[in-house]
Amino acid sequence: MQNPSPIQIKHSPNRQEYIAKVVVTAVQMRDIEERIFATGMPVAALMEKVAGLIALRVQQLFPLSSNSYRVGILVGPGHNGGDALVVARELHFRGYEVWIYSPFSQLKELTAQHLEYAQSLGISCDGNIEQLRNCDFLIDGLFGFGLERQLTDAIASTINQFNEWQQPIISIDIPSGLHTDTGEVLGTAIRATYTLCLGLWKLGLLQDHALEYVGKAELIDFDITLADIESVLGNTPRIRRITRKTALSTLPLPRPAVTHKYKEGHLLLICGSRRYAGGAILTALGARASGVGMLSVAVPESLKYLLVSHLPEALIIGCPETETGAILELTLPENTDLSAFSAIACGPGLTREATPIVQQVIESDRTLVLDADGLNILAQLETIPTLQKRQATTVLTPHTGEFHRLFPTVSDAKHDRITAVREAAAESGAVVLLKGARTAIANSQGIVWINPESTPALARGGSGDVLTGLLGGLLAQATKKQIPVEDIVATAAWWHSQAGILAAQERTELGVDASTLTQYLMPVLSTHET
């Protein structure tokens, strides 16, 4: 069955884009709801509205026109359980066979009232989970946002039982058992097929921990006013989802009618060694796909003609090399120094013998991307705080292992990636891109971008090199366009992941090697409106 599109409520495009980007913590969402209730919205009325939207979406996902369905409703003690009971009632009225599972003896008053009414309608309800085994799908309303305690004993065993049955499960707001902010599993958690997030995106749904539990996440927009959101978020550093529209809006397109290659950015890549020649090629191919006006690539002399054969349009600079084939010294063309370039990207395939090269580019006044061995050398130098003194922006692009070597004293990125990447950006003064299934980007002011989509197809050697080249090329083009660097970094992360998704759709996840990935960067733009 092909799933229909989510229900669409008519909103202005600007509001839709705003809501699509906002990410909130449990405390922020609670404060927003309290403001809504304080201004006169009855709790019961909001529950009716939200649950009605959920019921409509459930009917789209499992329409009676194609089948008859038996639905199991999992009811918790709070208002999440109340939402589930209103959904149960609405589905019952529309012809679904509904069975309510309510294992808690104490319910909030409004939830208890909805349970009483559901029973008066003749909807089956008890605490025997075996009655749910034959349901076609389950709706999870056990715990909503804000859960912090570990789930143990009977409720944990029950959730594990539901997961073992492998029925489709629709979770309301957040799968029961996930921490709203970190996405961590609190003992155990529902493995949802769909998660219908209510009102605003919850931070935990966009963290790596949560991905195998969230399933397909969708936002149910129930018309929170922008004033209510802004009153709570105020001047606090924002967490934002990267959307297609925002990513494409930063691309240097269309180009002016009168221009030339140097006006469209000049990127210097410093990469590669005799041992890791592929890193130089893949980084350069990523840069080429960015559309940068001029590309120069500094490699060991022994790799020069190999690079020329792959990138005849680029200026390949052969540099003196060590006995083992690493760059010994950066030798630029006559009358050229590092200030001649719009941006520099340095690191893939260098090996740690290239320490003097990394020191040299850090001392430059150009926007700088450090990746791979550039990061390893930076960690060895233990000079992270000195990046604050650079005259231009530094972008660091570590995976988790490199991140821990660079920032051993910040929060554990495996526990809370958002806090960790914020602390790293504050410590270094750099824009930090922490790679992962949900890449997180932070600047020194504490603003965070999260890439909400990716694919495990990118878990291949060399795919990070492609990102470095792509990012460097975009930064080189943007230097004269007054676009915030972190926005460009967000665009590069989005573009890179979308290329992986597109390639995986056509080649399967196993067919997306890094070289293949570079071939799908340009098709991403042709499949999206700009």
Question: Was 352 annotated as part of a binding site?
Answer: no
Q: Which of 170-174, 204-208, 247-251, 262-266 has the lowest mean pLDDT?
A: 262-266
pLDDT tens, residue by residue, 489-529: 999 999 999 999 999 999 999 999 999 999 999 999 886 54
Question: Was 173 annotated as part of a binding site?
Answer: yes
Residue at token pair 């935990």: 204
Between 256 and 157, name the one with better pLDDT: 157
Question: Was 372 annotated as part of a binding site?
Answer: no
- Distances from the Cα of 424 to the Cαs of 28, 65, 429, 442, 462, in angstroms? 23, 53, 8, 8, 24
Give the residues across from 448 on adjacent strands: 239, 442
Question: Was 148 annotated as part of a binding site?
Answer: yes
What is the rounded average pLDDT for all residues in the chain?
A: 94
Give the pLDDT score at 95: 96
What band does 11 get if pLDDT is binned at 50, 70 and 90? low
Question: Was 349 annotated as part of a binding site?
Answer: yes
Question: Was 436 annotated as part of a binding site?
Answer: yes
CA distance 133 to 238: 43
The structure's pTM equals: 0.93
Give the residues across from 343 on adjacent strands: 267, 367
pLDDT tens, residue by residue, 21-58: 999 999 999 999 999 999 999 999 999 999 999 999 99
Question: Was 57 annotated as part of a binding site?
Answer: no
Question: Was 144 annotated as part of a binding site?
Answer: yes
Mean pLDDT, residues 321-331 taken together: 96
What band does 150 get if pLDDT is binned at 50, 70 and 90? very high
What are the φ and ψ backbone dihedral angles of 34, each rounded to 5 degrees? -60, -35
Query: Do residues 88 and 100 touch, judged by C-beta distance below 8 A?
Result: yes
Give the 3-state secondary structure of residue 300: strand
Give the pLDDT score at 2: 47
- Asked if pLDDT for residue 446 goes beyond 90, the answer is yes
- Asked if pLDDT for residue 530 goes beyond 80, the answer is no
pLDDT tens, residue by residue, 374-419: 999 999 998 898 899 999 999 999 999 999 999 999 999 988 999 9
Question: Was 140 annotated as part of a binding site?
Answer: yes
- Asked if pLDDT for residue 118 goes beyond 50, the answer is yes
Mean pLDDT, residues 422-433 taken together: 97
Give the pLDDT score at 23: 98
Give the pLDDT score at 298: 98
pLDDT tens, residue by residue, 173-187: 999 999 999 999 999
- Distances from the Cα of 172 to the Cαs of 16, 190, 193, 395, 478, in angstroms? 21, 11, 11, 38, 41
Question: Was 496 annotated as part of a binding site?
Answer: no
Question: Was 473 annotated as part of a binding site?
Answer: no
Mean pLDDT, residues 421-448 taken together: 97
Q: Which residues have a Cβ under 8 Å from the Cβ of 254 and sit 6 or more positions away?
A: none
Structure tokens at 355: 């320490």
Query: Do residues 357 and 454 touch, judged by C-beta distance below 8 A?
Result: no
Question: Was 437 annotated as part of a binding site?
Answer: yes
Mean pLDDT, residues 454-480 taken together: 96
- Domains of the chain are 13-236 (3.40.50.10260), 244-526 (3.40.1190.20)
Give the pLDDT score at 335: 87
Question: Was 176 annotated as part of a binding site?
Answer: yes
Residue at token pair 């231009």: 392
Question: Was 80 annotated as part of a binding site?
Answer: yes
- Distances from the Cα of 378 to the Cαs of 86, 295, 351, 352, 387, in angstroms? 56, 24, 12, 10, 10
Mean pLDDT, residues 280-293 taken together: 97
Rounded to a whole number, what is the distance in angstroms from the first to the last CA of the chain? 31
